[in-house]
Every structure is written in C-alpha cells, then in structure tokens.
Amino acid sequence: MEKENTLLEKNKLFSATKKVAQIGIFQLDLTSNSVYWNDDLKEIHQVPLSFSPSIEGLYGNCTNVFQKELLFNLHKEAINEGIPFEISYEILTKQGQKRNLRTTVQPIFKAGRCTNLHGTTVEVSQFENSNIETVQYTEQLNTAEILANSGSWKWNIITDELIWSDNFYTIFDHKRDTPISYDVYLNYVHKEDRKKISAKFESALKNKIFPESIYRIQLADGIIKTLNSSGKVIINEKGDVVSLMGTCQDITEQVAKEQELSEKKQQLELSESINKAGSWQFTIANGEFKWSDNLYTIFNLGIGEKMNFEKLKKFIHPEDIGLIKEKLEETIKEKKSHTFTHRIILKNNTIKTVRVVSDALTNDKG
C-alpha cells in the first residue's frame, strides 16, 4: 500500500509539473547575430507568435536595475569565459504583467570562441509543493544541456562530494547508480590527455583559475569522444577553495567535420600541385576573391595575399581582357559552367597560358 501511495504521489508530482512547467527555449547565434524564441517563450513574455526578438531583448524586459546588471555580467561571462549560469529575475511583459522568471544558459564554444548561447526559461510560481519546483528546475536544466550537448558538474572540495548532471552521465555513458569520484572521472580521460587534465585541476586548486581545455575521453566500450571543458573556482571569505564547478560540451562531431574538411583541403592542394591547377571563388556581392594556395603559386604571388578583380586584371594579357569579361558575364547570366583559355603576364614578364573552368553558385532565390 505504501508503494502505491508513493507511486501516486510521483504521478501527481509529474502531472502538476507538466502543467506548470511551460519551458521557453531560446538561442543566440553570435555568428549571424540572430535570436530564436520558441512559442512557449513568446507566451511567457506575452508577445505575438510572429514576434522577432532582438539581441538586446534576449532575456526580456528585466525591470529590476540590480538584476539587470547581474544578468548582463553573467551573459558577458558566459560568452567570454564559457561559464554557464542560472538566474531568477523579474520582467514586465508586453501586456504589462510582472512575472518572475528563472533562466538557465549554456554557452557553446567552437575553435576557442563562443558561437552560440542555448537557454531555457520558466515562469517561477509559488508552489505549495516545493518538490514540484525542484522537478521543474531539473527538467529545465536537463533541457538546456541536451540542447547544447553538454553536461555540468560540481565538486565540493571540503566533503569530496562530486555531483554530475543527468546529461553528464549520458555523455560519459556512466550508470547513474554507480559511485562517482574525481578518480572515476580521471579514469575516463584518454591516457594521452590524462596528465594534462590532472595538471589542470591541480593548477585550479593552487591558482584559483579553471582554464578552458579540449581533451578526449574513452568510454568503457572503447568509444572516444572529444570534450570542450570550462569551469569556475569557488572560494570562501578567507580565500580558500571550497568547490569547483564546470561544464563540458561534447564536440566529437564538430571535430570530426573539421578534420574531414582539413583532409579534403590537403587532398585538393596535393591534387592541384600535381596537376598544376588552382581554384578560386569570386563573391559578386562584395567583390571578394578566395584563392587556393597553388593558384598563388601559378601567379608567383605570396600565399594569402588579398586579391580582387582589379588586381587580377593587371595579370591578364591585354588582348584577353575582353574575353575574360565576356565569359564571366555569360557564366553569371546563364548560371552554367564555361571552359576557356587565356594568357597571364607575371610580374617578371613571364607569359603563361591557363585554362579556366568557371561555374556559378546561386542562393535560394536563384
């Protein structure tokens, strides 16, 4: 009978949470400077579903000056240092209602810089059952971490207690009913990276700074993952370290794609070198030219030198300039590939004949 009552209470708890926990989801793309809000978040802020949020209004209309400043500082810290945060604050909705919100934010880093912020927001109510609020917060945190493919942890140095979030367990494929400790974590770290990570923790305890790092872990089944880790050192009023906390993001897929692109680039450069070929891309909108390394070699120029069409014209044989212009106009107008040959004159007056294969790349509007 006791088990049935416990199960009934749990069912009531999760049913209530499902009704109350309207989870708003947002994303800030720092590359395109664009903001996304899901429909639940728009309802929380009482704006039309057609509403387009701005970067300045990412967290809504915060009315408390001190909360607004704290929110700004945490936002800045997340972007600059990769530290996730959770904050409660008050807003004034579009319809003039005051609402208390709790927001959880996870930063996403690529190549050492923050590219995205993933976050969740819920409206905080006065619950009769505090367990409902606990479940609501846990669900909110888990949602944010799953969106960011990240996990969080906290290590109490005084008691040696280590806490992992649900998604941290998932990333490490570690059973939740199995004990965890710093040594357990360290054993997951790839043997070639273990010394580096161990030294990082020792340095954090000594210097009170937890640097960002990228390292590999190896799961029990042999799968290797690459993680991007950042954290924070918590000290007491005496300046002693009392705990460490941080987050790790699984960037395995991202690293694999970057490696694939790098290998393709190397293969292209090797192929161009063998075949004495080079490739280029001309962007009509801004007049930018992108050249492969071997194309610079063909023109006897320093690799990486900025190029545009006016500079290129200086290398084209005077008798062939009209042909080049005609062929490029045909490529743009007809949006199909053209092959032709022309001559170039290098700075040392050497004349070369080159074959050009041009094609037009279009956007979604054609």
Question: What's the whole-number average pLDDT of the chain?
Answer: 81
How much is the pTM? 0.48
CA distance linking residue 186 with residue 202, whole number of Å? 13
Q: What percentage of the chain reaches a pLDDT higher than 70? A: 80
Q: Where are the domains of the chain?
A: 2-148, 154-251, 276-358
Check if 154-251 and 276-358 are the same fold.
yes
Is 209 within 8 Å of 232 (Cβ atoms)? Answer: no
CA distance 284 to 337: 16
> Would you place residue 129 in the very low, low, confident or very high pLDDT band (cuts 50, 70, 90)?
very low
CATH topology (fold) of 2-148: Beta-Lactamase (3.30.450)
Third-level CATH fold of 154-251: Beta-Lactamase (3.30.450)
Does residue 9 carry a pLDDT above 50? no
Residue 247 has pLDDT above 60, yes or no: yes
At residue 194, the pLDDT reads 95
| pLDDT value at 177 more than 50 | yes
Residue 135 has pLDDT above 80, yes or no: no
Q: What is the reported pLDDT for 35?
A: 93
> What is the reported pLDDT for 286?
67
Q: Which amino acid is at 121?
A: T
Mean pLDDT of 139-150: 65
pLDDT tens track for 93-107: 999 999 988 888 888
Who has greater pLDDT, 339 or 343?
A: 343
Mean of the pLDDT values across residues 214-239? 90
Q: How far is CA 75 from CA 54, 72, 97, 110, 151, in A?
A: 15, 5, 24, 17, 19
Taken in order 149, 154, 155, 157, is the CA torsion positive or negative?
positive
Res. 342: pLDDT tops 70: yes
Give the model confidence (pLDDT) of 319-338 as tens digits.
988 888 888 788 778 777 77
Sheet of 98-110: strand order equals: 34-37, 24-29, 113-123, 98-110, 85-92
CATH code, residues 276-358 = 3.30.450.20
How far, in Å, are 38, 94, 104 from residue 43 at the CA level?
Answer: 9, 10, 18
Say which residue, 268 or 38, is predicted with more confidence: 38
